Amino acid sequence: MTKFLQRWTVFAGLVVVWQVLGWLADDPFFPPPSLIVSAAWEWWVLEPSNFFDHVVPSVERLLGGWAIASLIGVSLGLALGRSDRAMEYAGPLLVFLRSIPPPALVPVFLLLFRGGTSMQLATIVFGVIWPVLLNSVDGARSVDVTKVDTSAVFQIPRWQWVLGVVLPAASPKIFAGLRVSLSLSLVLMVISELVGTDNGIGSQLMQAQREFDYTRMWAGIVLLGVLGYGLNTALLAVERRVLAWQPRSRDEQHA
pLDDT at 158: 67
78 part of a folded domain: yes
Domain count, the chain: 1
Name the most confidently modeled range: 68-77, 91-100, 102-111, 168-177. 68-77
Domain that holds residue 178: 58-243
Distance CA 155, CA 149 (A): 10
Domain assignment present for residue 34? The answer is no
- Reported as a pLDDT band with limits 50, 70 and 90, residue 237 is very high
Contact present, 137 and 163 (Cβ < 8 Å): no
> Please, which pLDDT band fits residue 154 given cuts at 50, 70 and 90?
low
For residue 77, tell me if it sits in a domain: yes
Residue 1 lies in a domain: no
Q: Residue 121 falls within a domain, yes or no?
A: yes
The CATH number of whichever domain residue 141 belongs to comes to 1.10.3720.10
44 located within any domain: no
Give pLDDT tens digits for 159-209.
666 777 788 888 899 999 999 999 999 999 999 988 867 888 999 998 988
- Mean pLDDT is lowest, of 32-41, 67-76, 176-185, for 32-41
Helix (H) or strand (E) holding 189, with range, is helix 167-193
Lowest mean pLDDT among 73-77, 83-87, 231-235, 243-247: 243-247
In-domain check, residue 188? yes
- Mean pLDDT, range 91-100, rounded to an integer: 89
Burial class (CB in 10 A: 0-12, 13-18, 19+), 212: exposed
- Whether residue 29 is contained in a domain is answered as no
Q: Would you say 154 and 101 are in contact if contact means Cβ atoms under 8 Å apart?
A: no
Sign of the C-alpha dihedral computed for residues 102, 106, 107 and 108 taken in this order: positive
- Report whether 135 contacts 177 (CB < 8 A): yes
Round the CA-based radius of gyration of the chain to a whole number and report it.
22
Give 43: exposed, middle or buried? Use CB within 10 Å, 0-12, 13-18, 19+: buried
